[in-house]
Chains A and B, each alone.
Chain A
Amino acid sequence: MTPVRGRQPATRGVYAIEDPALLLPDPIALDTSFVVEALIATQPLHAACAGFLARIVETGVSVVSSELLPVELAEAAFAIALKERWGGQWRRHRTDGRARRRGGRLLTDTLSRYETLLSSIDHFPVPLGRATGLATTLMTDYGIASYDAVHAASAIIAGAEAIVTKDTGFALLPASRLMLYTDRSRLASCRTKRQH
């Protein structure tokens, strides 16, 4: 085997979920962006994210999530129905009642799948009220966006060392706070964004 020349790139606490040698901490936190990719078969990262969920089950680690996650799934379900009807103009038609029936069916299907998923894993759902104090501190200290801050705070207070996400915004947090498990295509941008 040819030795790799030069210095290895710093990981900065960011790792690829496609790496078969990646160790999973127990517990591990899930972000909505990861769950959306895993549940919806037509999403571009579906195979990688569904495969990583299978690894979580195989290794037997427990998962942490915020109570915000199913609310974001509901938001996504109704936005999908609007986007299917209105394409790129969907934001302007948020109050269009004709999309609600489809949105409702999608919501039922998505939440049912989420519950089925949770039936296979020991799970810690962190109440929003318990996470808000730390979330605002993370926003102030690192400039992380509000929803990301709620998920990060939920992970930290439940003792998760890593969060699985495709959202590069979490890289604003230092590695000492939370490791990021993301897809291979986001490694470089997360590591660049992560200064600490």
Chain B
Amino acid sequence: MRTVTTKQTNGRPERLSPEELAALMRPATAKSLEEKREAVRRATSGLRIKVRVTPSMYGRR
């Protein structure tokens, strides 16, 4: 008989269960595709700085 095992790390299942994932989910508040496009446009437009951000500036090597 075939058995299905769940991969574990330190005794916990590696992946979140569907119930855990559902509890984490934050749905988009923008509803229409047009609203979503506009939100991405606003998020990604207009923030200009005088220096270049390198990985070491947020703690990476």
Residues of A at the B interface (CB closer than 8 Å) are: 32-33, 36, 38-44, 46, 50, 53-54, 57-58, 62, 72-73, 75-76, 79-80, 83-84, 87, 106, 109-110, 113-114, 116-127, 130, 133-134, 137, 145, 147-148, 156-159, 167, 169
Cross-chain contact A130 with B16 (CB below 8 angstroms): yes
Cα-based distance from A79 to B51 in the complex (angstroms): 10
The answer to whether B61 and A41 have CB atoms under 8 Å apart is no
Contacts of B19 in A (CB 8 A): none
Chain A residues near B53: list those with CB within 8 A. 36, 40, 43, 76, 79-80
- Complex: how many Å from CA A134 to CA B33? 36
- Smallest beta-carbon distance B34→chain A, Å: 10
CA of A156 to CA of B44, assembled, Å? 27
Does B1 have its Cβ within 8 Å of any Cβ on chain A?
no
Asked whether any CB of chain A lies closer than 8 Å to the CB of B25, the reply is yes
CB-CB under 8 A from A123, the residues of chain B are 25-26, 28
Interface residue? B2 (CB, 8 A): no
Contacts of B21 in A (CB 8 A): 124, 158-159
Contact, CB under 8 Å: A147 / B39: no
The majority secondary structure among interface residues of chain A is: helix
CB–CB A110/B44 < 8 A: no
Give chain B residues whose Cβ lies under 8 Å from the Cβ of A42. 47-50, 52
B3-59 contacts to A (CB < 8 Å): 9-10, 12, 14-16, 21, 24-30, 33, 35-37, 39-40, 42-53, 55, 57-59
Contact B44 A41, beta carbon cutoff 8 Å = yes
Tell me the complex Cα distance, A44–B10, Å: 40
Contact partners of B25 in chain A: CB under 8 A:
62, 122-124
Residues of chain A contacted by B39 (CB below 8 angstroms): 57, 116-117, 119-120
Closest B residue to A109 by CB, please name it: B47
Are B40 and A117 in contact, CB atoms less than 8 angstroms apart? yes
Q: How far is the CB of A46 from chain B (nearest CB, A)?
A: 8
Could you say which residues of chain B place their CB within 8 Å of the CB of A147? 59-60
Contact indicator B42/A145 (Cβ below 8 Å): no
Apart from A53-B43, A75-B57, what are 9 other A-B pairs with CB-CB below 8 Å? Answer: A32-B60, A41-B45, A42-B47, A80-B57, A116-B39, A120-B30, A126-B24, A157-B14, A169-B60
